[in-house]
Amino acid sequence: MMQGLYTETVGQGPDLLLVHGWGMHGGVWGKFVELLARRFRVRLVDLPGHGHSPMPSGQAWVDAVLDAAPPIAHWLGWSLGAQIALHAAAVRPERVKSLSMLCGNPCFAERSDWPTAMAPALLEGFRASVESSGVGALPRFLALQAQGLPQPRSLLKRMQGLLGQRPAPARQALLAGLQLLHSYDLRAALTELQCPVLALLGANDALVPVALGEALRQLKPDLRLEVLAGSAHQPFFSHPMECAGLVEAFLLAHDGD
């Protein structure tokens, strides 16, 4: 078994686990965490091989995150983190009080019956870029995350500053994360979930299309769908107050469930 993942905990209240996206780390949440920590005890985790967490050694990422999570908590995941959180809710439902997916797609790579997703060729392009240049692939990914914002350069500069505060992700971890994004198909798992689900999408997201919302509702009619106007793939970062307000309202509505 690999050494445990790096975590930080802030705030007091019901437990809330935050799982970041591909190539990032638990320090990128910024003001969003401060806002949530007023009502919740927020645990931030660095995914395997990201930030301060060690490289995986055979253990599935979802199992490593479950080992680092509170025994019972609300789970919130962003992008790849949303898929991992959804996977955790499916395999260990007794540990997940609610699931919040920020810009998360249960099937990130486009399929013939799932067009509201990323083209496999784009994912393959990122894989080739990581193979050739490692973390040199991240600036292009960050630029795509900010695409659709009125001032993308300002956000990019702030995000790069936060990213630089922890070790860069290992090449092996980046490749493993891309493989998860390519292979994960959790549509059936989402349909069968019993816990409350929030799907929060960015209206201008270039990576997870806003049209996904209707497809998610078809999979799970009782999920709560929110679309944040003016935001792209990082609503927690570009619109922290609005994003935290939507998440907090959802969590407080379901904390007693």
Average pLDDT over residues 186-207: 97
In-domain check, residue 183: yes
In-domain check, residue 69: yes
Instruction: Give me the pLDDT at residue 257, please.
Output: 58
User: What pTM value is reported for the model?
Assistant: 0.96
Rg of the chain taking only CA atoms, in angstroms: 17
- Which candidate in 79, 129, 231, 238 is catalytic? 79
Task: Give the side-chain half-sphere CA count within 13 A for 68.
Answer: 32
DSSP string for 119-137:
-HHHHHHHHHHHHHHGGGG
- Which candidate in 233, 238, 239, 254 is catalytic? 233
Instruction: Tell me what percent of the residues of the chain surpass a pLDDT of 70.
Output: 98
In-domain check, residue 2: no
Q: What is the CATH number of the domain that holds 117?
A: 3.40.50.1820
Instruction: Give me the pLDDT at residue 39, please.
Output: 97
Is 57 marked active-site? no
Q: Are 73 and 97 contacting, i.e. CB atoms less than 8 angstroms apart? A: yes
Average pLDDT over residues 227-234: 96
In-domain check, residue 1: no
The domain in which residue 77 lies consists of 7-254
In-domain check, residue 29: yes
In-domain check, residue 172: yes
In this structure, of 38-42, 44-48, 115-119, the range with the lowest mean pLDDT score is 115-119
In-domain check, residue 250: yes
Is 205 marked active-site? yes
- Which candidate in 20, 25, 50, 205 is catalytic? 205
The residues, any chain, with a CB within 8 Å of residue 125's CB and separated by 6 or more, are none
- Domains of the chain: total: 1
User: Does 219 score more than 70 pLDDT?
Assistant: yes
Is 79 marked active-site? yes
In-domain check, residue 20: yes
